[in-house]
Amino acid sequence: MISVHHLSHSFKVGKRGSEKEIPVLKNISLTIRKGEIASIVGRSGSGKSTLLHLISGYISPTNGDVMINGTNVTGFNEKQWAQFRLDHFGFIFQSFQLIPSLTTFENVELPLTLKGMDSVKRRQEVMTLLESVGLKDHSEHYPNELSGGQQQRVSIARALITKPSIILADEPTGSLDSETEQEILGLIQQLNKEQGITFFMITHDEEVAKISTNQFHLEDGVITKGGNPVEV
């Protein structure tokens, strides 16, 4: 599903001509198989967000390769990446990333609009999904009218609406209280079990990572614990 081969990444800092390279990831190799809940656990600055951005194509690696669903995506241009993300990925963010001027329905509908689905089918798909995540009665509410847990459910519904094979989650419970956190983690486990969706999650919280079926620990840009052999 996701294979990372000898991945390294450095950021350049300083003035042009006298830049210094600061290594962030160092020769990372790992495999995430279909149907897993995989987590990258690490403190702030460990490189976990950089790894997520490399896998999703928002930055390019200094060295190494990323394989997604059997495709080497390392050399994709922006147009190729935009289409690939729309076809294969859903995203869940710590800060929800909902558009404040759009209703719950409209936020979830947006990816289908980008895919060119007709309005009648869009409405059917969105309302069915909102019901499944417990938000059918909140379809016309705006983000500021929802609790944090409800906003994250909207974010999850938006991630699911295109029926992606992989959901990338960036600290998905980081903005939630402990009770709501457990609700969201339970929903992730339910979706994984019932729909077979692969989750790739980054977190600093060992308690959150406990729901994972495959767990990696990242420290100073190096995998220090967990994981499995890289599939070649």
Residue range 184-205, pLDDT digits in tens: 999 999 999 999 999 999 999 9
What does the alpha-carbon distance between residue 42 and residue 154 come to, in Å, rounded to a whole number? Answer: 26
Asked if the model's pLDDT at residue 232 lies above 80, the reply is no
Asked if the model's pLDDT at residue 64 lies above 50, the reply is yes
- For residue 121, give every residue at least 6 positions away whose Cβ sits within 8 Å of its Cβ, in sequence order, or none: 112
What order do you get walking across the sheet with 63-68 strand by strand? 20-32, 2-13, 63-68, 71-72
What does the alpha-carbon distance between residue 4 and residue 184 come to, in Å, rounded to a whole number? Answer: 28
Interval 114-159: pLDDT, tens: 889 999 999 999 999 999 999 999 999 999 999 999 999 999 999 9
Write the DSSP assignment of 10-67 as a string of letters.
EEEESSTTS-EEEEEEEEEEEEE-TT-EEEEE--TTSSHHHHHHHHTTSS--SEEEEE
List beta partners, residue 51.
none
At residue 189, φ and ψ (nearest 5 deg) are: -65, -40
Interval 8-59: pLDDT, tens: 999 888 787 778 889 999 999 999 999 999 999 999 889 999 999 999 999 9
Q: How many residues does the chain have?
A: 232
What does the alpha-carbon distance between residue 47 and residue 135 come to, in Å, rounded to a whole number? Answer: 35
What does the alpha-carbon distance between residue 215 and residue 203 come to, in Å, rounded to a whole number? Answer: 11
List beta partners, residue 222.
219
pLDDT range class, residue 229, cuts 50, 70, 90:
very low
Domains of the chain with bracketed CATH: 2-226 (3.40.50.300)
- Say what the pTM is: 0.88
DSSP 140: T
List beta partners, residue 13.
20
